[in-house]
């Protein structure tokens, strides 16, 4: 596997960070936006923001065992399971360019947020699916579409944050930024300011959450999408209904007492794709009035995300529902007293322009942290945090500090020691070998040995190897782990 066979996941760290950390406005500066119209729209009662999540894992299942995208596997094994949907999935990955173009031609002001995993982007390139990549290029770069579409960052290989080794959180974030910039250019990357965590999985261990938020901020992200039941108020209470329809400020406090914050938009309700497939956010927003933030009246926002291709609702019902909702908005005489569509960064930029500041936002934290801090007192240390978690779990066994996601009935930790232990081991060996080398010479990240080892580490952390249960998928993980160890050995890392 030479450099030409590897996805662009490393080698430009300083350049990528410099690009991402520039904080000029994304939507307010866009000359294609009719500012008078948008300012008028911001006088409406409510807005809705919809995001589509797209992902296909990378698996060692090519003809000769090579790494391929699962979409390719579906095409090559169309008679197995639901693989006959491969063509429909491929169409879903590209159709937003046509849907937005149609609505714009109809005089509408559509909006959509897009979250594509690095695995999927690489798989499309491996397959030579240039038609899909050309559509994504339009969505990322076409000046006529830019006001209407927002790309969200994510972890490159769809890792879930709570069970990803802390040193790898930033590697996952940076790998996606590298890949996105390589495909769509530096200016497109500069416009990516919101982050969509895979499976909506938010860490609630203090140190993991702190390092996650810290890495997001260092990589230039301004806001994070979170699931409503994965967070709580500082007093441990659940979010009020009015809190769910305004931005909140997520506070991450680690076991040393250090604090970092990031703006959070709240994804309400569960994971049912019908919420977006049938445009529930629009219809929920219709019933909402304006909210107060920092003494200012602002539109409420309903934020939702769903798989963009999974299931009959998304494959078949979403396009006509999306078109219908935006046509209805266009008939509202500018929507001054109704509901309009806006994307997350756009909404936040208009709040900022209206004078709303971060200290005006309700402050929240990850779920169960109130109980932890109450148990600890005012002087936490890594040792007392670890002891307090043990005490709390003995008192209340269902209590988990492994994070929360779109569902509470699925664990990415319990029963998966045969995947998690290799992840931890491979990560430790990777960092033991490469961290000092990279510190001495940052150009090491441009080399094939580094990138090959990094690729296998990131791939091993893919959530799918646990989501689908024991069997074929954990076998895939075992093989990727074996190849990761081989890559490290080839790079000169000492044996175990």
Task: For residue range 27-40, list pLDDT tens digits in order.
Answer: 776 534 444 444 55
Position 104 in a domain: yes
The pLDDT assigned to 482 comes to 96
Instruction: Note whether 79 and 195 are same-domain residues.
Output: yes
**Cα(283)–Cα(375) distance, integer angstroms:** 42
> Same domain for 441 and 347?
no
Q: Pick from 304, 334, 365: which residue ends a domain?
A: 365
143 and 246, same structural domain? yes
Domain co-membership, 225 together with 124: yes
312: alpha, beta or left? (left if phi > 0; alpha if psi -120 to 50): alpha
Last residue of a domain, one of 365, 389, 424: 365
Work out how many domains the chain is built from and give that number. Answer: 2
Measured CA distances, 322 to 33, 92, 113, 275, 470 (Å):
21, 13, 13, 12, 37
- The verdict on 71 and 210 lying in the same domain is yes
Q: Is residue 392 part of a domain?
A: no
**Any domain includes 476:** yes
Say if residue 309 is in the same domain as residue 451.
Answer: no
User: Residue 256 and residue 379: Cα distance in Å, rounded?
Assistant: 8
Helical pair 86-105 and 318-330, crossing angle rounded to 10 deg: 10
- Residue 495 falls within a domain, yes or no? yes
User: Are 302 and 450 in the same domain?
Assistant: no
CATH number at residue 51: 3.20.110.20
Same domain, 118 and 230: yes
The answer to whether residues 230 and 339 belong to one domain is yes
- Specify the pLDDT at position 421: 84
Q: What is the domain extent for residue 302?
A: 27-365
Interatomic CA distance for residues 54 and 309, integer angstroms: 7
Residues of the chain predicted below pLDDT 50: 31-38, 334-335, 405-416
pLDDT of residue 40: 54
State whether 340 and 209 are in the same domain.
yes
Q: What is the Cα–Cα distance from 60 to 224, expressed in whole angstroms?
A: 32
User: Are 165 and 62 within one domain?
Assistant: yes
Does a structural domain hold residue 404? no
Question: Residue 165 falls within a domain, yes or no?
Answer: yes
In this predicted structure, what is the pLDDT of residue 275? 82
CA–CA–CA angle 321, 304, 315 (5° rounding)? 40
The answer to whether residue 13 is domain-embedded is no
Residues 6+ apart with CB under 8 A from 258: 210
Using one digit for the tens of pLDDT, what is the confidence trace for 291-332? 999 899 999 999 999 998 988 888 889 999 999 999 999 987
Residue 416: its pLDDT value, please? 46
Q: Is residue 3 part of a domain?
A: no
Strands 363-366 and 248-253: parallel
């Amino acid at each position: 596997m030479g450099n030409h066979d590897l996805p662009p996941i490393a080698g430009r760290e300083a350049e990528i960070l410099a690009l991402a950390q520039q904080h000029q406005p994304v939507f307010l500066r866009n000359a294609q936006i009719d500012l008078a119209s948008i300012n008028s729209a911001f006088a409406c009662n409510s807005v809705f923001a919809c995001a589509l999540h797209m992902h296909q894992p990378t698996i060692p299942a090519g003809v000769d065992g090579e790494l391929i995208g699962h979409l390719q596997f579906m095409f090559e094994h169309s008679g197995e399971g639901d693989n006959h949907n491969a063509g429909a999935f491929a169409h879903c990955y590209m159709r937003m360019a046509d849907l937005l173009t149609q609505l714009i031609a109809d005089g509408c002001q559509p909006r959509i947020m897009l979250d594509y995993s690095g695995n999927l982007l690489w798989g499309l390139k491996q397959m030579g699916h240039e038609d899909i990549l050309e559509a994504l290029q339009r969505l990322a770069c076409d000046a006529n579409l830019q006001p209407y579409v927002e790309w969200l960052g994510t972890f490159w290989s769809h890792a879930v944050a709570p069970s990803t080794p802390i040193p790898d959180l930033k590697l996952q974030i940076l790998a996606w930024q590298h890949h996105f910039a390589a495909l769509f250019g530096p200016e497109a990357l500069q416009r990516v300011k919101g982050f969509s965590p895979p499976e909506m999985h938010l860490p609630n261990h203090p140190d993991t959450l702190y390092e996650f938020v810290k890495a997001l901020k260092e990589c230039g992200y301004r806001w994070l999408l979170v699931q409503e039941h994965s967070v709580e108020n500082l007093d441990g209470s659940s979010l009020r209904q009015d809190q769910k329809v305004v931005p909140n400020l997520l506070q991450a406090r680690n076991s040393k007492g250090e604090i970092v914050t990031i703006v959070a938009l709240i994804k309400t309700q569960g994971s049912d794709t019908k919420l977006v497939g049938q445009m529930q956010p629009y219809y929920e927003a219709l019933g909402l009035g304006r909210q107060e933030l920092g003494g200012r009246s602002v539109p409420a926002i309903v934020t939702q995300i769903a798989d963009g291709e999974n299931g009959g609702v998304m494959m078949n019902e979403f396009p006509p529902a999306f078109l219908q909702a935006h046509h209805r908005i266009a008939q509202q005489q500018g929507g001054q007293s109704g509901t309009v569509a806006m994307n997350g960064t756009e909404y936040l930029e208009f709040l900022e322009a209206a004078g709303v500041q971060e200290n005006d936002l309700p402050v929240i934290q990850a779920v169960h942290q109130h109980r932890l801090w109450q148990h600890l007192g005012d002087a936490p240390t890594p040792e007392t945090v670890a002891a307090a978690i043990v005490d709390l779990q003995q008192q209340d066994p269902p209590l988990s500090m492994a994070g929360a996601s779109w569902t509470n009935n699925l664990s990415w930790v319990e029963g998966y020691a045969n995947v998690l232990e290799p992840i931890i081991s491979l990560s430790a060996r990777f960092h033991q070998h490469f961290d000092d080398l990279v510190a001495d010479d940052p150009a090491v990240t441009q080399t094939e040995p580094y990138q090959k080892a990094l690729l296998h580490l990131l791939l091993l952390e893919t959530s799918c190897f646990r989501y689908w249960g024991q069997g074929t998928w954990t076998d895939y993980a075992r093989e990727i782990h074996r190849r990761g160890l081989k890559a490290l050995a080839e790079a000169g890392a000492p044996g175990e």
